[in-house]
C-alpha cells in the first residue's frame, strides 16, 4: 500500500455490488467494507477469508474494515464479539480495522449511552490484547456528544495506548435527529472538540454524506472520511455536481427533495471528465445506476483531490467559505468559522 495522502476519502462498498465498484474505472483513495456485511453473506464470508480482502475486491490500495457496529445496533442485537471481529480482521488482512463499537443515540437515556461507551472501551481493550499480528492498524472509535463526555472518553483511550488514527462515531443519528441544519452544527462541534483534544493523530469521521458535508468535516479538522452517498444517491436517481450538491436527473418518483438540473448545470455536466460522462454522456447517467454511481464517486474523488491541493497551498478555508456561502449551510458556516478560529484548528 502506498503512503496515504490526507485528507482522504474511503468509498464505502457493500458485498455483492461489484458491478458499480468505482476502482474498476479510476483510481480511488481507499475502500471501506463491513465485517457485519460479510457475516450476513456466508459465501462472501468464506471467499474473503480465502482470498484476503485486496484480492477479493480486486483493489490493491488502502482498505479499511469496519465492524458494522452501527448495523448490529439497528437490529438491536449485538450477536458478535470483539474476539470474533479481530480474528476476522487478521484473517482477511485489511490495512485498517475499526474497533467493534456500540454507537450512541441522542434519544437514548444517559445511562444507556454510558453503558454503550463502557462496552466500546472494553472491546477496544480486548481487541488490543487478542490480536496476534501487527495488521491491521486498529482504529478506536470516540463516542460522546458533549465536551466533558468527549474528554473523559479520550482520556480512557489514551491510557490504553498510542493510536495513530482515531475514529469518531455516533454522529450519523445526530445529523438526522435534528431538523434542518441544527444536526450538522452539533456534528461539527463534536469534531472540533475532538480535534482540540487530539491535536496530532489523524481523525476519521464515519458516514458523512455528500460532497458539501464532506468539505464541512474536513474544514472542522477531520483528515479522513467515508461515504456511501455516491452509491445511495445514484440509486435514488440523483447525481453529485462539483461544489454544488445533488441534482435530480431521472424521471422516477422523487423520494428526496433534490433540485433538477438548470441549463448552466447541464452545460457544466457536459464537461465532466468522469469515465461515464466522457464515454457515454448524460443520457447514460439518466438510465443507468452504475453510470451514476461511477460519476458520483468520481466527483467525490475530484473534490478530495482539490481539497488536498488547496490545503497544501493554504487556500482551503477560503475555498470552503466561498462554496458554503452559496448554500443553505451559509448561516451555520459563520458559527463554525468562529469556533474554528477560537480553537486554533489547522489542517495538518
Ligand atoms: Zn461524470
Kindly give the distance from the C-alpha atom of residue 249 to the centroid of ligand 1, in angstroms, as a whole number. 12
Kindly give the distance from the C-alpha atom of residue 278 to the centroid of ligand 1, in angstroms, as a whole number. 7
Q: Which residues are bridge partners to 98 per DSSP?
A: 139
pTM exceeds cut of 0.85: yes
pLDDT value for 108: 85
Three cell numbers written together for 34:
463491513
pLDDT value for 182: 61
pLDDT value for 164: 96
Residue 167, phi-psi category: left (phi > 0), alpha (psi -120 to 50), beta (remainder) = beta
Contact (Cβ atoms closer than 8 angstroms) between residue 114 and residue 158: no
Closest CA to 225 of 237, 233, 217: 217
Between the alpha carbon of residue 167 and those of residues 11, 144, 154, 178, the distances in Å are 16, 12, 11, 22
Kindly give the distance from the C-alpha atom of residue 56 to the centroid of ligand 1, in angstroms, as a whole number. 27
pLDDT value for 78: 65
Instruction: Summarize pLDDT for 47-101 with one digit per residue, the tens.
Output: 999 999 999 999 999 999 999 877 766 666 667 899 999 999 999 999 999 999 9
Kindly give the distance from the C-alpha atom of residue 303 to the centroid of ligand 1, in angstroms, as a whole number. 13
Q: Is the pLDDT of residue 254 over 60?
A: no
Kindly give the distance from the C-alpha atom of residue 62 to the centroid of ligand 1, in angstroms, as a whole number. 24
Kindly give the distance from the C-alpha atom of residue 213 to the centroid of ligand 1, in angstroms, as a whole number. 20
- Distance from the Cα of residue 155 to its chain's centroid: 24
pLDDT value for 172: 72
Closest CA to 63 of 96, 87, 106: 96
Residue 198, phi-psi category: left (phi > 0), alpha (psi -120 to 50), beta (remainder) = beta
**Any idea of the CA torsion for 131, 134, 135, 139, to the nearest 10 degrees?**
70
Q: Is the pLDDT of residue 1 over 70?
A: no
d(C-alpha 337, C-alpha 341), whole Å: 6
DSSP-based three-state secondary structure for 31: strand
Kindly give the distance from the C-alpha atom of residue 297 to the centroid of ligand 1, in angstroms, as a whole number. 9
- Percentage of the chain with pLDDT > 70? 91
Kindly give the distance from the C-alpha atom of residue 66 to the centroid of ligand 1, in angstroms, as a whole number. 29
Kindly give the distance from the C-alpha atom of residue 262 to the centroid of ligand 1, in angstroms, as a whole number. 16
In the chain, the domains with their CATH numbers are: 8-227 (3.20.20.105), 234-303 (no CATH)
Q: Is the pLDDT of residue 233 over 70?
A: yes
Kindly give the distance from the C-alpha atom of residue 210 to the centroid of ligand 1, in angstroms, as a whole number. 15
Classify each residue of 114-127 as buried b or exposed e, where b means 16 or more C-beta atoms within 10 Å of its C-beta. eebbebbbebbbbb
Decide which of 33 and 74 is more confident: 33
Kindly give the distance from the C-alpha atom of residue 21 to the centroid of ligand 1, in angstroms, as a whole number. 15
Least confident interval from 97-101, 144-148, 343-347: 343-347
Can you spell out the DSSP letters for 311-340? HHTT-HHHHHHHHHTTSTTHHHHHHHHHHH
Instruction: Summarize pLDDT for 288-325 with one digit per residue, the tens.
Output: 999 999 999 999 999 999 999 999 999 999 999 998 88
Q: Is the pLDDT of residue 209 over 80?
A: no
If you average pLDDT over every residue of the chain, what do you get? 88
Decide which of 344 and 63 is more confident: 63
Three cell numbers written together for 258:
433534490
Average pLDDT, stretch 25-29?
Answer: 96
d(C-alpha 191, C-alpha 27), whole Å: 28
DSSP-based three-state secondary structure for 129: helix
In 10 A of CB 302, how many CB atoms?
A: 18
Torsion sign over Cα 230, 236, 239, 245: negative
d(C-alpha 197, C-alpha 210), whole Å: 27
Least confident interval from 48-52, 95-99, 253-257, 344-348: 253-257
Kindly give the distance from the C-alpha atom of residue 304 to the centroid of ligand 1, in angstroms, as a whole number. 16
Kindly give the distance from the C-alpha atom of residue 279 to the centroid of ligand 1, in angstroms, as a whole number. 9
Kindly give the distance from the C-alpha atom of residue 148 to the centroid of ligand 1, in angstroms, as a whole number. 44
Decide which of 249 and 313 is more confident: 313
Peptide bond into 307 cis (omega under 30): no
Kindly give the distance from the C-alpha atom of residue 295 to the centroid of ligand 1, in angstroms, as a whole number. 4
pLDDT value for 326: 83
Kindly give the distance from the C-alpha atom of residue 242 to the centroid of ligand 1, in angstroms, as a whole number. 10
In 10 A of CB 264, how many CB atoms?
A: 8
d(C-alpha 327, C-alpha 324), whole Å: 5
Kindly give the distance from the C-alpha atom of residue 310 to the centroid of ligand 1, in angstroms, as a whole number. 22
Three cell numbers written together for 129:
490484547
Average pLDDT, stretch 241-251?
Answer: 74
Kindly give the distance from the C-alpha atom of residue 271 to the centroid of ligand 1, in angstroms, as a whole number. 8
Kindly give the distance from the C-alpha atom of residue 103 to the centroid of ligand 1, in angstroms, as a whole number. 35
Kindly give the distance from the C-alpha atom of residue 300 to the centroid of ligand 1, in angstroms, as a whole number. 11
Three cell numbers written together for 107:
434519544
Amino acid at each position: 500500500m502506498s503512503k496515504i495522502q490526507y485528507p482522504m476519502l474511503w468509498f464505502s462498498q457493500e458485498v455483492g455490488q461489484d458491478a458499480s465498484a468505482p476502482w474498476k474505472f479510476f483510481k480511488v483513495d481507499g475502500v471501506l467494507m463491513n465485517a457485519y456485511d460479510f457475516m450476513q453473506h456466508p459465501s462472501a464470508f468464506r471467499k474473503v477469508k480465502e482470498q484476503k480482502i485486496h484480492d477479493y475486491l480486486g483493489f490493491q490500495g488502502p482498505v479499511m474494515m469496519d465492524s458494522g457496529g452501527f448495523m448490529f445496533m439497528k437490529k438491536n442485537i449485538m450477536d458478535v464479539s470483539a474476539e470474533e471481529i479481530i480474528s476476522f480482521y487478521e484473517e482477511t488482512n485489511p490495512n485498517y480495522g475499526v474497533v467493534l463499537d456500540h454507537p450512541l443515540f441522542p434519544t437514548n437515556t444517559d445511562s444507556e449511552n454510558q453503558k454503550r461507551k463502557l462496552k466500546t472501551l472494553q472491546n477496544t481493550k480486548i481487541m488490543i490484547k487478542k490480536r496476534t499480528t501487527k495488521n491491521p492498524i486498529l482504529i478506536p472509535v470516540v463516542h460522546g456528544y458533549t465536551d466533558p463526555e468527549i474528554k473523559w472518553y479520550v482520556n480512557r483511550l489514551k491510557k490504553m495506548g498510542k493510536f495513530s488514527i482515531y475514529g469518531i462515531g455516533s454522529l450519523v443519528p445526530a445529523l438526522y435527529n435534528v431538523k434542518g441544519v441544527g444536526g450538522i452544527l452539533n456534528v461539527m462541534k463534536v469534531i472540533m472538540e475532538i480535534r482540540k483534544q487530539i491535536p496530532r493523530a489523524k481523525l476519521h469521521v464515519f458516514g458523512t454524506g455528500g460532497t458539501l458535508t464532506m468539505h464541512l468535516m474536513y474544514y472542522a479538522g477531520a483528515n479522513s472520511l467515508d461515504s456511501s452517498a455516491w452509491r445511495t444517491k445514484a440509486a435514488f436517481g440523483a447525481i453529485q455536481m462539483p461544489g454544488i450538491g445533488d441534482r435530480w436527473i431521472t424521471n422516477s418518483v422523487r423520494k428526496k427533495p433534490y433540485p433538477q438540473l438548470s441549463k448552466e448545470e447541464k452545460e457544466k455536466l457536459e464537461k465532466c471528465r468522469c469515465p461515464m460522462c466522457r464515454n457515454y454522456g448524460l443520457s447514460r447517467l439518466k438510465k443507468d445506476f452504475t453510470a451514476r454511481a461511477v460519476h458520483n464517486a468520481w466527483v467525490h474523488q475530484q473534490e478530495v483531490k482539490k481539497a488536498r491541493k488547496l490545503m497544501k497551498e493554504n487556500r482551503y478555508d477560503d475555498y470552503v467559505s466561498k462554496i458554503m456561502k452559496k448554500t443553505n449551510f451559509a448561516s451555520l458556516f459563520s458559527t463554525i468559522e468562529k469556533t474554528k478560529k477560537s480553537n486554533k484548528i489547522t489542517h495538518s
